[in-house]
Amino acid sequence: MARQQSRYVCQACGTAHLRWEGQCRTCGAWNTLVETLVREPEQKRRLSAAAPERANVPQSLSGLREAELVRTPTGISEVDRVLGGGLVPGSVVLLGGEPGIGKSTLLLQAAAGLTAIGDVLYATGEESAGQVRLRAGRLGLLDGLAGERIRVVAENEVGRIAELSRSARPGVLVVDSIQTVTVDELEGPAGSVGQVRESALRLMELAKQDGIAVIVVGHVTKDGTLAGPKTLEHLVDVVLSLEGERTATLRLLRATKNRFGSTEEVGVFEMVERGLAEVADPGRAFLASADEHAPGSVVGATLEGTRPLMVEVQGLVAPGSYGSPRRTASGIDANRLALLIAVLGRRAGVGLGSHDVYANLAGGLDLADPGLDLPLALALASSLRDKPVPPDLVAIGEVGLLGELRPVPGLDRRLREAARLGFKTAVVPRSRHGVAPEVKGISVIAVGNLREAIGHALGLAPDPDGRAQRG
């Protein structure tokens, strides 16, 4: 074992200090010292996912051997879809998400699927082994292969986890969670940047040297402030995030980084009594109940990677009381909402300046698709005028500062999915060539600006100078 020493390294200038201080004496930065293990130079080892041990001689691109990827399916097709086909041996996967969102549940279910090819070691630092058993019972995983091949250990010292893995030789190691794992040589508390990073490095070493796939859970808060797991993203091979509203049942699994596949795919799940279930028809999962057609509700068609999803955008406009009006956005960027309110007022005759405005995406989704601008703008106009938008209408388009509508990527794919789900009319941006795309089963209305779009959606006839009037 190499001699290792703990030092406090400034994250701003790199100076190593012997003890912790609030301010770095070298560069003067505050709160930048992180406890770090300093190794003897010859012990330094490069970690690389692509080539664990190969002589470092440059080779021509064409002379390189193609990496052969073996993938082990988890048996949960939505998870495999996001991973790019399955788990790659020796890879390190970070699964992030808010506490209570369902990470442990999903991993236990995936572990059960992975037992088809070998043992899974489940190291839990967060819950006792008994609690894991309780959950497994609820998920119906106590019998059969899963009951036998998932080995649970309540352990949170990374050295002992690695030792256990080296002797038990599982195909997959699950560490739940990285915030509870510590390295004996470091003094900082579990969850501190130093502990989290050093633990992750040790787990990566284990993965690369022994060919064990390691899945690490990391808790992340909504604004991503919990520094720990964020600092790991560049180290690991795959970063998955499980998203959704804890109070709602739908969950999205996304890959935000994937060295072995695309980051375009999403998996859609529903939290049911027996864990996370795959959603049979994700296209319509995020529509609120179809029989309420109050003003302020408009369906948009968004693209999550390559997957079209219909999502209900809700707007509520109420006369403001005193002071500055409230603007509340949930699932939608607040700046985007403010911009749309301004454009609606200046370019489309929908004045919301003194109103309280609330905007929401149904189903607990959180999306940054500019194509949702139009449905949101329509929802606000619909709420202000107290006129519902037809329930079988779908709206797609980005809104520019001049009130013009801009094309969005994947329009055809969004329209085909809308048609498949029974929507009859689509309001979309006019393309540069002026032709509306033709999709069977849905009539596509291509418009140039927000004012026209409002006219069509709310059944107002636009007059020649473009000013919308009540029809």
When CB distances are held under 5 to 8 angstroms depending on the partner's kind, the choice from ligand TYD, Mg ion, none that residue 465 binds is none
Q: Looking only at residues 275 through 304 of this chain, which bind ligand TYD when binding is defined by CB under 6 A?
A: 275
Binding ligand TYD (rule: CB under 6 A), the pick from 72, 104, 199, 383 is 104
Compute the least distance from the CB of residue 286 to Mg ion, in Å: 25
Compute the least distance from the CB of residue 265 to ligand TYD, in Å: 21
103 in contact with ligand TYD (CB under 6 A): yes
| Segment lying near Mg ion (by CB under 5 A), choices 19-27, 100-108, 201-209, 454-462 | 100-108
When CB distances are held under 5 to 8 angstroms depending on the partner's kind, the choice from Mg ion, ligand TYD, none that residue 455 binds is none
When CB distances are held under 5 to 8 angstroms depending on the partner's kind, the choice from Mg ion, ligand TYD, none that residue 138 binds is ligand TYD
Whose Cβ is closer to ligand TYD: residue 100's or residue 471's? 100
Binding ligand TYD (rule: CB under 6 A), the pick from 25, 166, 274, 326 is 274
- In this structure, how many other beta carbons lie within 10 angstroms of the beta carbon of residue 27? 12
63 in contact with ligand TYD (CB under 6 A): no
What are the structure tokens assigned to 373, written together? 């601008």
| Segment lying near ligand TYD (by CB under 6 A), choices 54-62, 267-275, 433-441, 443-451 | 267-275
Compute the least distance from the CB of residue 138 to ligand TYD, in Å: 5
Binding Mg ion (rule: CB under 5 A), the pick from 32, 72, 104, 182 is 104
When CB distances are held under 5 to 8 angstroms depending on the partner's kind, the choice from Mg ion, ligand TYD, none that residue 273 binds is ligand TYD
Which residues sit at the interface with Mg ion, rule CB under 5 A?
A: 104
Which residues sit at the interface with ligand TYD, rule CB under 6 A?
A: 97, 99-105, 135, 138-139, 271, 273-275
